[in-house]
Amino acid sequence: MQIKKCPFVGICGGCQLDFSDEKYREKKLKTLPDLNFSHDAIWGDFGTRRRADFAFTDNHFGFFKKQSKDIVDIDSCPNLVHEINDILKDVAHLPWRGAGSVLITKCENGIDVSVNSDVPYFNADFRSAVEKLPAQIIRFTWNDSVARKYKEPEVKFNDKIVAYPSNAFLQPTIETEQILRDLVVKYVNGATRVADLFCGLGNFTFATNATGFDIVGNGIKRDLFKKPLSVANLNQYEVVIMDPPRAGAEKQSKELSKSNVKRIIYVSCNPTTFVRDKKILEKGGYKMTVGIPVDQFVGSSHWEIFSVLEK
């Protein structure tokens, strides 16, 4: 794939690194903490992001400028899938009023647009403009109020299709989602008693026939930040999968460190909280046997870390 230089490099704060730079990988590796990884980094491709968080203020739509709350007007981004770029100009030119964020997600059957704003509702002019948007946009919500909906957005994990709720968590690219899912399946290694914590919509749950636990999604409705699984709960399982938000899984790690679970597969999008939780687990006797950095957030300084910890 020919690398197209982004016209907003150094202006937009969406990417901290220029993915078109021939030394991109070298520079990105310098942002990675030294965790004695067992494998080389897995690299994602630019132009594959299926979701992006935009910002708006009165008559401005785009990404925040670097180290600023001002907005760079954007109606095309070379780091996004073409399906989003195909409708982005129309969304950018809506009569935006007030301020807020706009999450645009490419789903299996169309585009979902979700607005979150302190302005509680949209006016008639805005609804009229939304109704004229391209048909590829199958749902448009404002603070969970539906401005337009043609069908329920869906996402697919291998052959499993599930409904996509507005603002639900998804891995940023389909390619890296599949890579992580394949790694999880590999290291579950046929275990039959598996718990998938912070399971979301089920990216790992269905593929491993796991019991899922989460606040929302397709698992048992349980807030693992406030009420982590106890040692007695955990000891029912051979393998535990964890894929928490950026805040990590501190309380759950403390319970896990006292458990008899033989293998923990920890997928983290925040090396800082991963290191904290890893230390907790190590005090309980776990040792990281597999560590793989994944450049899932191309252009940013963020890394996804896939790890296996065993006792």
pLDDT tens for each residue of 285-295: 999 999 999 99
User: Which of 44-58, 176-190, 214-228, 256-270 shows the lowest per-residue confidence on average (mean pLDDT)?
Assistant: 214-228
pLDDT tens, residue by residue, 219-230:
889 999 999 999
- Say which amino acid occupies 102: V
In this structure, is the dihedral angle defined by the CA atoms of residues 207, 211, 214 and 217, taken in order, positive or negative?
positive
Q: How many CB atoms lie within 10 A of CB 75?
A: 14
Q: What value does the mean pLDDT take over residues 205-231?
A: 92
Q: Percent of the chain having pLDDT more than 90?
A: 86
Distances 309 to 42, 70, 246, 261, 291 between C-alpha atoms, Å? 19, 43, 19, 10, 9
Q: What value does the mean pLDDT take over residues 2-17?
A: 81
Q: What value does the mean pLDDT take over residues 157-179?
A: 95
CA–CA distance, 233 with 220 (Å, rounded to integer):
13
How high is the pLDDT of residue 2?
Answer: 52
Residue 90's pLDDT band (boundaries 50, 70, 90)? very high
Q: What is the mean pLDDT of the chain?
A: 94
How high is the pLDDT of residue 8?
Answer: 87
Q: What value does the mean pLDDT take over residues 237-258?
A: 97
Query: What six digits make up the tokens of 134?
Result: 């391209």
Distances 243 to 73, 221, 307 between C-alpha atoms, Å? 33, 16, 11
In order of start, what are the domains of the chain with their CATH numbers? 1-48+171-311 (3.40.50.150), 51-155 (2.40.50.1070)
In what order do the strands lie in the sheet containing 145-149? 71-73, 60-64, 51-57, 100-107, 110-117, 137-142, 145-149
Nearest to 281 by CA among 249, 306, 304: 249
How high is the pLDDT of residue 20?
Answer: 87
CB 241, CB 180: distance < 8 Å: no
Query: What six digits make up the tokens of 302?
Result: 């963020």
**269 has catalytic annotation:** yes
CB 28, CB 17: distance < 8 Å: yes
CA–CA distance, 236 with 211 (Å, rounded to integer):
11
Q: What share of the chain is helix, strand, coil (3-state, %, to 5)?
A: 20, 30, 50
Pairing between strand 239-242 and 42-43?
A: unpaired
Q: What value does the mean pLDDT take over residues 16-40?
A: 92
In this structure, is the dihedral angle defined by the CA atoms of residues 17, 19, 24 and 29, taken in order, positive or negative?
positive
Strands (E), 159-262: 160-163, 194-197, 211-214, 220-221, 239-242
How high is the pLDDT of residue 32?
Answer: 92
Options 6, 15, 77, 269, the catalytic residue: 269
How high is the pLDDT of residue 9?
Answer: 84
Q: Vertex 185, ends 179 and 187: CA angle to 5°?
A: 105
Distances 208 to 122, 186, 190, 234 between C-alpha atoms, Å? 42, 10, 8, 17
pLDDT tens, residue by residue, 119-150:
998 999 999 999 999 999 999 999 989 999 99
Residues paired with residue 110 on neighbouring β-strands, in sequence order = 107
How high is the pLDDT of residue 1?
Answer: 47
Nearest to 28 by CA among 44, 39, 11, 14: 44
